[in-house]
Chain A
Amino acid sequence: MSNSPYLLKATSVQSVMLRVLLALLPGLVAYIWFFGAAIVVQIVLASLTALAAEALVLYLRGKPLALFLTDGSALVTAWLIALSFPPLAPWWLVVLATLTAIIVAKHLYGGLGQNPFNPAMVAFALMIVAYPQLMSRWPVPGAVDFATQWGIIFGPYANHALDAITMATPLDALRTALHSAGTLPSAPTTVVSALANNPAIGHLAGRGWEWIAAGYLVGGLWLMQQRIITWHLPTAFLATLFLLSGLASVINPADFAGPLFHLFGGGAMLAAFFIVTDPVSAATTPCGKLIFAAGVALLTWIIRCFGAYPDGIAFAVLLMNIAVPLIDMATQPRVFGYKKTGDDVP
Chain B
Amino acid sequence: MEVSGRDHQTRHHTLTMRLFDFNGGVKPDYQKEASTQTPIAVSPTPTFLVIPLHQSIGGTPRPLVSVDDRVLKGQRIGAADASISGDLSSAVHASTSGHVVAVEMRLMPHPSGLSALCVVIAPDGRDEWIERKPFDYRYHTRDETRDYLRDAGVVGLGGAVFPTHLKISSGKEDRLDTLIINGAECEPYITCDDALMKERADAIIQGVAILHDLLAAGQVLIGIEDNKPEAIAAMQAAVRARNPSDMEVIAVPTRYPAGGAKQLIRVLTGIEVPHGKRSTDYGVQCFNVGTAYAIHEAINLGQPLISRIVTVAGNVTTPRNYEVLVGTPMKTLLAQSQRLPDTDCLIMGGPMMGVALPSDEVPVVKATNCILAGSKKLFPPPPPEMPCIRCGECATVCPADLQPFELYWFSRAKIFGKAQEYHLFDCIECGCCSYVCPSHIPLVDYYRFAKSEIWAHESEKESADKARDHYEFRQLREERETQERSARLAAKAATSRTAAMAVPETPATENIPVSATGSATPAALIAAALERARAQQVHPKNTTDLTPAQQAEIAAIEARRTEIRTQAHPHLPLDD
Are B352 and A3 interface neighbours, CB within 8 A?
Answer: no
Give chain B residues whose Cβ lies under 8 Å from the Cβ of A252.
none
Bound-state CA distance A64–B386 (Å) is 11
Interchain Cβ contacts under 8 Å between A and B, 27 examples: A1-B344, A2-B381, A3-B442, A3-B445, A3-B570, A5-B353, A5-B435, A6-B347, A6-B379, A7-B351, A8-B434, A9-B435, A11-B437, A12-B386, A13-B439, A112-B386, A230-B392, A333-B401, A333-B403, A335-B400, A335-B402, A336-B262, A336-B272, A336-B426, A337-B274, A337-B275, A346-B277
Bound-state CA distance A279–B390 (Å) is 6
Q: Tell me, rounded to whole Å, the shortest Cβ–Cβ distance linking B347 to chain A.
A: 6
Give chain A residues whose Cβ lies under 8 Å from the Cβ of B218.
none
Q: Tell me, rounded to whole Å, the shortest Cβ–Cβ distance linking B248 to chain A.
A: 25
Encode A214-233 as 1/0 by CB contact (under 8 A) with B. Answer: 00000000000001101000
Most buried by B among A8, A16, A285, A334: A8
Bound-state CA distance A7–B31 (Å) is 12
Q: Does A67 contact B (CB under 8 A)?
A: yes
Are A12 and B388 interface neighbours, CB within 8 A?
Answer: no
Grouping DSSP codes into helix (H, G, I), strand (E, B) and loop, the A interface class, with mixed when no group exceeds half, is loop
B interface residues with partner A (beta carbon < 8 Å)? 22-23, 26, 28-29, 111, 188, 262, 266, 272-277, 344-345, 347, 349, 351-356, 374, 379-384, 386-393, 395-396, 399-403, 405-406, 422-423, 426, 431, 434-440, 442, 444-445, 448, 570
Q: Tell me, rounded to whole Å, the shortest Cβ–Cβ distance linking B575 to chain A.
A: 15
Are A15 and B438 interface neighbours, CB within 8 A?
Answer: yes
Are A346 and B274 interface neighbours, CB within 8 A?
Answer: yes
Are A113 and B401 interface neighbours, CB within 8 A?
Answer: no
Q: From A334, which residue of chain B is reached at the shortest CB distance?
A: B401
Give chain B residues whose Cβ lies under 8 Å from the Cβ of A197.
none
Are A337 and B386 interface neighbours, CB within 8 A?
Answer: no
Given that A71-B386, A230-B396, A336-B272 are known contacts, is A9 also in contact with B28, CB under 8 Å in the complex?
Answer: yes
Residue in A3, A71, A111, A334 whose CB lies within 8 Å of B444? A3
Q: Does A4 contact B (CB under 8 A)?
A: yes
Are B423 and A335 interface neighbours, CB within 8 A?
Answer: yes
Are A12 and B387 interface neighbours, CB within 8 A?
Answer: no
Bound-state CA distance A122–B395 (Å) is 28
Give chain A residues whose Cβ lies under 8 Å from the Cβ of B390.
113, 279-280, 284
Q: From A64, which residue of chain B is reached at the shortest CB distance?
A: B384
8 additional A-B pairs beyond A4-B352, A328-B406, A336-B401, beta carbons within 8 Å, are: A2-B381, A6-B347, A12-B440, A64-B384, A112-B386, A112-B387, A346-B274, A346-B277
Bound-state CA distance A335–B277 (Å) is 14
Give chain A residues whose Cβ lies under 8 Å from the Cβ of B381.
2
Encode A268-292 as 1/0 by CB contact (under 8 A) with B. Answer: 0000000000011000110000000
Give chain B residues whose Cβ lies under 8 Å from the Cβ of A346.
274-277
A interface residues with partner B (beta carbon < 8 Å)? 1-9, 11-13, 15-16, 64, 67, 71, 73, 111-114, 227-228, 230, 279-280, 284-285, 328, 332-338, 346
Closest 3 interchain pairs by CB?
A337-B274, A5-B431, A346-B274
Bound-state CA distance A1–B344 (Å) is 9
Q: From A15, which residue of chain B is reached at the shortest CB distance?
A: B438
Are A279 and B391 interface neighbours, CB within 8 A?
Answer: yes
Give chain A residues whose Cβ lies under 8 Å from the Cβ of B439.
12-13, 113
Bound-state CA distance A264–B445 (Å) is 46
Q: Tell me, rounded to whole Å, the shortest Cβ–Cβ distance linking A169 to chain B.
A: 31
Q: Tell me, rounded to whole Å, the shortest Cβ–Cβ distance linking B34 to chain A.
A: 15
Bound-state CA distance A333–B405 (Å) is 13
Give chain A residues whose Cβ lies under 8 Å from the Cβ of B426.
335-337
Are B395 and A8 interface neighbours, CB within 8 A?
Answer: no
Q: From A232, which residue of chain B is reached at the shortest CB distance?
A: B392
Are B22 and A13 interface neighbours, CB within 8 A?
Answer: no
Q: Tell me, rounded to whole Å, the shortest Cβ–Cβ distance linking A201 to chain B.
A: 38
Give chain A residues whose Cβ lies under 8 Å from the Cβ of B273.
337
Are B389 and A5 interface neighbours, CB within 8 A?
Answer: no
Bound-state CA distance A114–B405 (Å) is 13
Q: From A329, which residue of chain B is reached at the shortest CB distance?
A: B406
Residue in A3, A113, A332 whose CB lies within 8 Å of B388? A113
